[in-house]
Homo-oligomer: A and B are copies of this chain.
Amino acid sequence: MDAADPLAALRDRFVLDTVTDPATGLPDVYLDGNSLGVLPRTVPDRIADVLHREWGELRIRSWTESGWWTAPERVGDKIAPLIGAGPGRVVVGDSTSVNIFKAVVGGVRMAGKGCTEILVDATTFPTDGYIARSAARMTGLAVRPVEPARIADEVTERTALALVNHVDYRTGALNDLPGITHALHSAGALAVWDLCHSAGALPVGLDAHHVDLAVGCTYKYLNGGPGSPAFLYVRESLQERFESPLPGWNSHAEPFAMDPSYAPADGVLRGRVGTPDILSLLALEAALEVWDGVAIEDVRTKSLALTDFFLECVAGYVPAGRARAVTPQDHRRRGSQVSLRCSGAGEVMDELIRRGVVGDFRHPDVLRFGFTPLYTSFADAERAAWVLGEVLGALPEVGPAVAGG
């Protein structure tokens, strides 16, 4: 399967095989790219140049001469094709949480006058819920948690927007972005999508599906490095009405006029806030070079093949009944990770990592294995399932409701 994989050569664009297990001599199998993507080979030299030449020698001149000032929108335009967005719709900077605040408050301000509530994906990654509640408190609305599959039924004319995860961080389930967006629009509500677990893993089609606002992280499938800045997407036809709750000087129409009164810039630049974090932004820009010549549709094809194969290997190698897949079998409902429920999951993951298979554990009983088609091989998938089988075969089975630490 690896020999027939048209994306196999992309693996060389990453720093892999640096850590080998002393017992087997085999390199680690890294299936945690849905938490922190692997280092792309392009990054270290680029950052050395940013430090030594751009900062060390050119210093302040680099804001113009090295293109630092325009990096948030330039890097946004590089992410755009991966999520189905045209140019001028994506801006990069600040954390995912901060961007969710911008998107939710900005969305509420664009919603109808009579709106009283925000719907939030009931199984959301927690920060989305916390931030949505803060945004609701500060705009006088209420938050109502709703299962993504129920949004079409629950949305009313009082709903300002729904904040929904494209892929559930715990189960790996893919939510129906076109359908939910359409249902929200039919009720007059806006659709705000969290793409943390889909950007770089599968086609999103933001423009095609008329998504209103979206936010995503860049350190998972986009390999931008630990805590690299997040992105904000604002639909082109809404940009003129987008009012950020964080109108820093970088989003001003004339930032260097130092005008005491605020006038927003045109377009998605309104999503900028303060001085951009240049080291992290330029590391991300270099990391995005691994996408040169890669079509996100091919990434999706390989992702599904990898997760299918892993599920098949788990069925073959893991003792029956010891681990249950919670990631949907249906391709239309699957992201790019496989989550397995198993008793003692925390201890099981510790042991997997000791044996060179790096996934992660999510409270209370979920083993997560992320598949990054740019660098994960079919051999990786098989070895992970094999080692999981060894670990679960060797470990005594503990009670069904054990919560790991």
Task: Please report A residues at the B interface, Cβ cutoff 8 Å.
Answer: 15, 18-19, 30, 32, 35-36, 38-39, 43-44, 47-48, 51-52, 55-60, 62-63, 68, 93-98, 101, 105, 124-127, 129-131, 133-134, 138-139, 145, 170, 217, 219, 225-230, 244-250, 252, 256-260, 262, 273-281, 283, 358, 360, 362-363
User: A134, B247: Cβ atoms under 8 Å?
Assistant: yes
A96 to B252, CA, bound (A): 15
A45 to B19, CA, bound (A): 21
Cβ distance A47 to chain B, nearest Cβ, rounded Å: 6
Cβ distance A71 to chain B, nearest Cβ, rounded Å: 9
A276 to B96, CA, bound (A): 10
User: A248, B47: Cβ atoms under 8 Å?
Assistant: no
List B contacts of A275 (CB < 8 A).
Answer: 95-96, 217, 219, 226-227
A15 to B56, CA, bound (A): 6
Known: A249-B130, A262-B133. A18 touches B57 (CB 8 A): yes
List B contacts of A229 (CB < 8 A).
Answer: 277
Report 9 cross-chain contacts, Cβ distance below 8 Å, ordered by A residue: A18-B57, A36-B59, A39-B52, A39-B56, A47-B279, A62-B226, A98-B274, A131-B248, A145-B260
A101 to B244, CA, bound (A): 12
List B contacts of A227 (CB < 8 A).
Answer: 68, 275-279, 281
Cβ distance A32 to chain B, nearest Cβ, rounded Å: 5
Known: A226-B62, A246-B101. A19 touches B262 (CB 8 A): no
User: A246, B277: Cβ atoms under 8 Å?
Assistant: no
A247 to B129, CA, bound (A): 10
Among B47, B98, B248, which residue has its beta carbon within 8 angstroms of that of A273? B98
